[in-house]
Amino acid sequence: MARSVKAQAAPGRVFKTEYFAKLAKKAGIADKELCEASAEVRKGQCDDLGGGVFKKRLNKNLHRGLVLSGRSHWFWVYLFAKKDRDNIEPDDLVGFRTLAKDYESLTKDKLKELVDLNKFMEICNELEEPKVQK
């Protein structure tokens, strides 16, 4: 099932979806923690669920976040409390893998459009100097 990432992934831009942002705010998870967690995911300190889907412990191990990898971009898309559920369902995982492929194919212009519409929020850019917003 889940396996640890062995190879170090490339740094990139890190986003959270509008949906994830609402869940993270409710859980008290700041962008700074997500940026730090993204760096840990790149180092393999997470569960690799395959197909560009990674599961990472957040918020002092109270929550699990799903982050999708697409080229040099990372997208936080789903958050759940450990006390509420052990893992995601296999059918959900298939959907997240499909979404990872879709995100991988985003053009620069489409990504900018989604950011402009607040569907995605950039929280850090690992290719530049740190610019954490919160």
pLDDT tens digits along 7-33: 456 778 999 999 999 999 999 999 999
Which pLDDT does position 129 carry in this prediction?
56
Give CA–CA dist 29/78, Å, rounded.
13
SS3 state of residue 102:
helix
| Mean pLDDT, residues 56-83 | 93
**Residue 109 structure tokens:** 């212009």
| Mean pLDDT, residues 71-88 | 91
Give pTM, 2 decimals: 0.87
Is pLDDT of 55 > 60?
yes
Task: Calculate what percentage of the chain has a pLDDT beyond 90.
Answer: 77
Distances from the Cα of 128 to the Cα of 12, 31, 37, 97, angstroms: 9, 16, 17, 28
